Amino acid sequence: MDRALHERTSILEKAKTEAEAIRREAEKNAQDLHAKVCAAVRSEAGRIRERRYNSILFQMNARRYRLKAQAIENIWCTIEAIIWKIEGTDFFRHVLETLFLECIADVPDGSVVRANPVDAELVRTYIERSGRSFGFGEDPSVHGGIAFYWPDGKTVLNNTLSHRLARLKVEGNADISWLLFGSEGDGSS
């Protein structure tokens, strides 16, 4: 019986030692697994944070660019309104004459000068004073200036404030943006 008791005690000690080793191994595995899960969670949280940051940054940039575009468009609308007001002043007759005179050297005889019906009398006077053989036609679509139509009908020279504004708008948006908001290339605006 002593021998059975001794064997029993030995088996129990061995089982306790194995159980303790298994517990320590399980605890170590649990800590390792916990560390891996925490690292994975931190990594995923970082990716989510970065995606969210990029999304917000994109939205802010999009809004900023919309506001800038609207500001520039408002400038063009204001300028267009000013041009329309200029057309209704006495000063415009001098502008119209300048627009006429600056082109006549390049326009062949036999061309037709078109102007808005409101400006018809003035333009006829300018044609007469120029001594050139130009025809004349009223055209309600010509605003803020004159249009020369070559005799062949294929070439048109629009010399109107509206046409100049349209050309300036195509070429000037980058300059206006730079003047108002600074350089676009550095990402600081």
C-alpha to C-alpha distance for 178 and 189, rounded to whole angstroms: 10
Which helix (H) or strand (E) segment holds residue 147: the answer is: strand 145-149
Residues of the chain scoring pLDDT < 50: 185-189
What is the number of other CB atoms lying within 10 angstroms of the CB of residue 181?
Answer: 16
Give the whole-angstrom CA distance, residue 151 versus residue 123. 18
- Report how far residue 126's alpha carbon sits from residue 139's, in angstroms, rounded to the nearest whole number: 17
Per-residue pLDDT at 183: 60
Give the other-Cβ count within 10 Å of 30's Cβ. Answer: 10
Cα 150 → chain centroid = 38
Sequence-ordered alpha helix ranges (H) in 88-160:
92-101, 120-130
**Strand pairing class (145-149; 135-138):** unpaired
Three-state SS at 117: helix
Separation between Cα atoms, residue 148 and residue 58, nearest integer Å: 48
**Residue 70 and residue 174: Cα distance in Å, rounded?**
14
Partnered with residue 136 across adjacent β-strands are: 113
Going from the C-alpha of 155 to that of each of 52, 98, 147, the distances in angstroms are 56, 21, 10
3-state secondary structure of 144: coil
